Amino acid sequence: MFETLSDRLSGIFDKLTRRGALSEADVSEAMREVRRALLEADVALDVVKSFTDKVRNRAIGAEVVKSVTPGQMVVKIVHDQLVEMLGSDAKPIDLHAVAPVPILMVGLQGSGKTTTTSKIARRLTERDRKKVLMASLDTRRPAAMEQLKILGEQNSVDTLPIVPGQTAVQIASRAINAAKLGGYDVVILDTAGRVTVDQELMAEVAEVKRQTNPHEVLLVADALTGQDAVNTARAFDEQVGVTGIVLTRVDGDGRGGAALSMRAVTGKPIKLMGVGEKSDALEDFHPSRVADRILGMGDIVALVEKAAANFDADQAAKMAKKMQKGEFDLDDLAEQLRQMQKLGGMSGIMGLMPGMGKMKNQIAAAGFDDKHIKRQIAIVQSMTKKERAKPALLDAKRKRRVAAGSGTDVSDINKLLKMHRQMADMMKKMGRQKGGMLGKMLGGLGGGMPNMGDVDPAVLDQVARDAGLGGPDALKNAMKGMPGGLPTGLPGMGGMPRLPGLPGLGKGPKGK
C-alpha cells in the first residue's frame, strides 16, 4: 500500500544523503517535496502541515547542521515523526476485563467487518488461547448471519445460533447471556453496516453499546477508501465512541493516506491491519515497523515472527537428522519450497528486508518469480514416492510422465533435478563440517539460516540458472547496490537474518 509513497520519499532522501553538508535551503526544498509526496498519498492536509513543520523545525537545528551525516539525521527525524504520527506504541486489543469480554465491531458496509470479526476470533483462539463466541447483529443483510456462521465453522470458532425475527439489541443481549452461561472468555458482536453513515445506523449501534457495555469498540475501515475512511472514523467516534481501529486491505494498492491520517485525526490507535483474504492474514499495527517499511528500512522483526509462527519443531528435527547423514531428497526440497511460500514467497521475504525496496526492478529483471516455486512443487508432487526418494529412477519415459502431470516441459524436470543434485552436494558438505555450516544451521529453535558465504559462488550461480532465474551472476547482478551492513546468509545478496526453526531454508531462496 505504501509502495508509491516509499518510492517518492526514498528519492528525496537519496538526494539529501549524497550531500556532505546541508543548508537551511536544502532542508526547506526537501520538505516541500515531502509535503507534495504526502498530499499525493492522500494524507489529510492538516496532518501534512503539522508533520512537515515539526520535521523542518528539528531539521534546521544544530543536531543536523553539526552532524557528521546531516542527510541521515534528516531521515531519522522524518522516521521519528512518522512514528509519532502513527501512534508511537503498538496498542493491541485490550482483554483486561471480567469475562466474557464484549468486543463491538462497527463500520460501513463492505469494509470487511464480518471477515475481520472471524479473523480476530481465530487470532484470539489460537494465539491467546481464549474461548470466543461470535454473534451477527446484522438483521438487514440476508446472508450476513449465515456468512459469520460459515466463517466460524471454517475457523473452529463458535457462533451464536440464529433465531429469526430478533432485533439487533435482542441478539446482542442473548449473545452476552450465552457467553456467560457457556464460560466464554470473549464475545464479539458484528453489527450491521450501511453504505454511508446515517442516523438510523448510529442509533442502532449506540443502543447495542448501551445494552452490552463493550470493553472494546473497534471500527473496521477500508484503507483503499482514502480520506473517506478518515471521515467515517471521525463520525463513528463522535457519535458512538470507538476505542481502536482495524484497517483492512492494507495489502491493496491504496496510497496509504488513510493509515497515516487516521491516528492523527481521530486520536484513536490503529490496533490491527488486514493484509490479505486468508483467515490468518491479520497483523498487529506497529507504528515503528510501518515507518520502517515506508522509508525502505524493511521489517526484519516481522520476518522473524513469520518464521517463528510457521516453525514446525517435528519437521525441523527430522530434517536435522537427515542432513547430519548427508541425505536430501526431493521431498526435502519441496518442503523447503513450501516454507518459502508460508513466509510470503521470495517477494514477501525480500519486501521485509532492509534496502530491498529500492531494488525490486533489478530483482524482477533477474527473473525472480514466485511462480517458479509453485511450478517446482507441482513437478515434485507429480512424481511417485519412490521417484522422490531416488531421483536417479527418473529416466526419459518417467520424465515425460512427470512433465505431463505437472503441466511443464522435460527441460523443467531436468533443471529441477540438476538444482537438487547441487543442493544435495552442499548438504553433504555441510554435514561433514564439524561445528561449521550444519552447527550454525541447527542453532536456536532447531534451525536457522546457514551462512552461504562459505559455499562456492560458482555453485550458487549454477543453482540460480537451473532454477530459471537467469544466466551466470544473475543473483549478484540483481543485488548490485545492496546497502552494506546486512546480515549474512542468503546467496548473492550478502546475506539474510537468522530465522528460527527453518533448517536449510537457505536452499529454498537460493534457487529462487
| C-alpha cell, 313 | 519443531
**Cα radius of gyration (the chain):** 26
Chain center to CA of 170: 38
Buried/exposed code over 100-127 (b: 16+ C-beta within 10 A; e: otherwise): bbbbbbbbbeebbbbbbbbbbbbbbbee
- Residues tagged in the binding site annotation for GTP: 107-114, 190-194, 248-251
Distance between the two ends of the chain, CA-based, in angstroms? 24
Alpha helical stretches, state H, 407-510 = 410-432, 437-441, 457-466, 474-478, 507-510
Three-state helix/strand/coil letters over 307-358? HHHCCCHHHHHHHHHHHHCCCCCHHHHHHHHHHHHHCCHHHHHHHCCCCHHH
**Neighbouring residues of 412: CB distance < 8 A, sequence distance ≥ 6:** 375, 379, 403, 406, 468
Sequence length of the chain is: 512
221 - beta bridge partners?
Answer: 247
Q: State residue 267 phi and psi, 5-degree precision.
A: 80, 0
Q: What is the DSSP string of 60-115?
A: TSHHHHT-SSHHHHHHHHHHHHHHHHHTSS--PPP--SSSSEEEEEE--TTSSHHH
Binding residues: 107-114, 190-194, 248-251
Q: Which residues contact 356 (CB under 8 A, 6 or more apart)?
A: 298, 350, 363
- 132 and 186 Cβ atoms separated by less than 8 Å: yes
* DSSP SS3 for 189: strand
* Residue of 224, 220, 216 lying closest to 255 (CA atoms): 224
Q: Which three cell numbers stand for residue 138?
A: 446484522
Please state, in angstroms and rounded to a whole number, the distance separating the CA atoms of residues 346 and 313.
23
